[in-house]
Amino acid sequence: MSVHILYFAGLREALGQSSEQLSLPAQVGSVGQLHAHLAARGGVWVALATTKNLRIAVNRKVAAMDAPVKDGDEVAFFPPVTGG
């Protein structure tokens, strides 16, 4: 299964990239499992595990951790953002 992943705001800065196309192992089938899979990369990827109030969207709709992730989905990770 392959998904397109987008990273926004401070998360994009911490990871040093704004997006990636990723092939996932068979056991990754939910948003929570994808989140854990990415954070398990270690190094800068721990930012995914340590960012508080992280929001995740699947195909541009906010999704819960138990939401399914399917082949071809777009998954976006974005931390809380302030502006002014």
CATH code for the domain in which residue 57 is found: 3.10.20.30
Domain count, the chain: 1
- Mean per-residue pLDDT, 2-26: 95
Residue 11 covered by a domain = yes
Confidence of residue 82 (pLDDT cuts 50, 70, 90): low
Residue 63 covered by a domain = yes
Which structural domain range is residue 41 located in? 2-78
**Residue 74 and residue 6 in contact, taking contact as beta carbons nearer than 8 Å:** yes
pLDDT tens digit sequence for 32-68: 999 999 999 999 999 998 988 899 999 999 999 999 9
Residue 83 covered by a domain = no
Q: What is the dihedral of CA 47, 51, 55, 57, to 10 degrees?
A: 10
Residue 84 covered by a domain = no
Residue 10 covered by a domain = yes
Residue 72 covered by a domain = yes
Query: Does the structure show a pLDDT above 80 at 5?
Result: yes
